[in-house]
Every structure is written in C-alpha cells, then in structure tokens.
Amino acid sequence: MNIKELARNENSEQRFLAGHSLCRGCGIPIMARTVLNSIDTPVVVVNATGCLEVATTRYPTSAWGVPWLHVAFENAAAAASGVESAYRSLVKRGKLPADEKVTFVVFGGDGGTYDIGLQSLSGALERGHRFLYVCYDNEAYMNTGIQRSSATPFGASTTTSPAGTKSFGKAQQRKDLTSIAVAHHIPYVGQSSISHWHDLSQKVKKAVAKDGPSFLNVLSTCQLGWQHEPREAVKIAQLAVDTCFWPLYEIENGRYNLTHRPPEKLNIKKWLSTQGRFKHLFENGNEDHLAAIQQQVDEDWERLLERCENDKSYFEPLQETNQTTLSAEA
C-alpha cells in the first residue's frame, strides 16, 4: 500500500473526515487517519477528552464517520473495556453475527494516558480486553493551556514549567510509558511517529490482529506547544526519530524488534533547536543541560539496541515499499 491508497481507503467508509478544527501543522489528523485507514474491519472509536475530541466534535458537526464514544480524561480504557465486553456478550447470545469482527480503537493524548488515565489503562491491559489503545503523544496538556505532563521532555518550557531566571524548564525526565505497557505482558506494543506513515500503518495492522490488548505510542507534533512553524511539523517529527530521541520499535509477544534505524544518528541539538520550547537551553550557561539530554538519549538508545540484539531480532526491518515522509500539507 502506498500513501495515496492509504488516504483513499477505497475498501471502507471514510472514517476521519475533513472539516475539523485542529490547528495547522497538528500531527493528530495524520495519526488518526493513518490508524483508522489501516484497519480492514468495522471500527468503533472511544475517545478521551483532549485536542482530538474537542476539535472534531464542535456542535452540531462531527469529523467522525464511525461509531464514536467520548468519555472523560481518566476513563477511556475503562469505557472501551465495557464496550468490548458488551460486544462479546451480544455475540455469545446470538444478538450480533459472530463472523464479522469489530475492532475497538481508543485514542487518548499523553495527559489522558500517561497521567490521568493511566490507572484505567493499566487495569484494562491487565484484564486482557481486546482493543487497540493509541496514545497521541504531543508531550504536554496542549488542550488546556500547554501545561507540563509526565510525557514532557526534560528542559522543555511549558506554562507550568516555564523557562526563566529561576527555572530552566521541566526538571524531570519524561515517563517511559511504552515500557510500562510492555510490563503488562500484552501481545503487542509499538512506538511510532507521524513522520513514518508506513511504519505506523504496519504496526496498526499487527496490533489489531492480536487476540488481546495492544498499545501504540505515537509521537504527534503540536505547533503551538512546541513553538515551531506549522509547515515544519513532519520534518520535526522526523528529526526526533533521526536523533534517536524517539526510536521506532515494537515488542511482539515479549520480543523486541527495531523497525527503523536512522541512516545517521544525529545530535539531539538538531531536534531541540527546531522548537521554541527549548530555545533557552542554547543560552550561555546551559551547556551542561544539553550534554545531559544527549547522554540520556545515548543511554536509552544503547539499552534499546541491547534488548533487540538479545531477542535475536536486531535491525529486522519492516518491509517498507515507500518510506517517504509526508509533507505538512498532507
């Protein structure tokens, strides 16, 4: 499948429509359309409160062409558990056809996933409900004023971790939610980015084929919170991958597999320098902070490579026919 075929999705209905009010340069529409158009079966979407929900359902309009349920920040996974359980019960009782599979997809931002919704997500993964949970990670509470979340990178300036004379931005490392999902021993966990549509699409296909819960963590840019030009969104997401700040990998039945290796591992400053939220780190006196960020990225990358090597799946690539990145206008 190429990018045009994925966008047309000729084998099914249009699931994510135009006319939403997400910002120019927002990575969320790329994420949502790629995920939904990669699924061949009928889809039911459960959506936590956040940018995606707010900007796609302004009364009296909706950008959703599939059954869609909006719930609060904290209970998207719990609500999906209930919907999936009800569906299985109706099939068992003969009220719904058993030969037509329905796929349940949950969308939540990092605020509603890393933080507020972590408890319900953990419970749903542990119980084994069959759904795909997709976290669109734009690394802060963008919908409510760009407050820091536990997904916000070290050093980033937000409205609640501002850079100034008494602060250099967020003082803590971001949470490794992908590893937390792995710790639940579920069949499939993946990490992807809006810049690599084929990688994301392939991981969605693998995830929904599993008999159990699956989790995808997708880096999704925010031009307002990251402070960059809208047209640079996909390029900046690509730099996150090429600097190994956001590596692309999967864990299938407990086995680690690297799905993309950058041709050249770039210095983390290449990514940080594209965003206004990190501009203070390039002022005199912050050299140690830049060095600490690079050291953390290097250590995380080496640890990931070791895991992949130990699982004997080191650098086993996806069969990518067209890995050309999207343009921001797409």
Let me know: does 155 contact 293? Beta carbons within 8 Å.
yes
Let me know: does 249 contact 203? Beta carbons within 8 Å.
no
Q: Where are the domains of the chain?
A: 3-310
Tokens of 175: 């949470």
* pLDDT (tens digit per residue) in 285-314: 999 999 999 999 999 999 999 999 887 543
* pLDDT (tens digit per residue) in 36-84: 999 999 999 999 999 999 999 998 999 999 999 999 999 999 999 999 9
pLDDT, the chain, mean = 92
pLDDT > 50? residue 327: no
pTM to 2 decimal places: 0.91
The arithmetic mean of pLDDT across residues 148-158, rounded, is: 98
Q: What whole-number distance in Å separates Cα of residue 97 and Cα of residue 286?
A: 62
Nearest in space to 238 (alpha carbons), one of 224, 225, 228, 252: 228
CATH of 3-310, one of 3.30.390.10, 3.30.1330.10, 3.40.50.970, 3.40.50.1100: 3.40.50.970
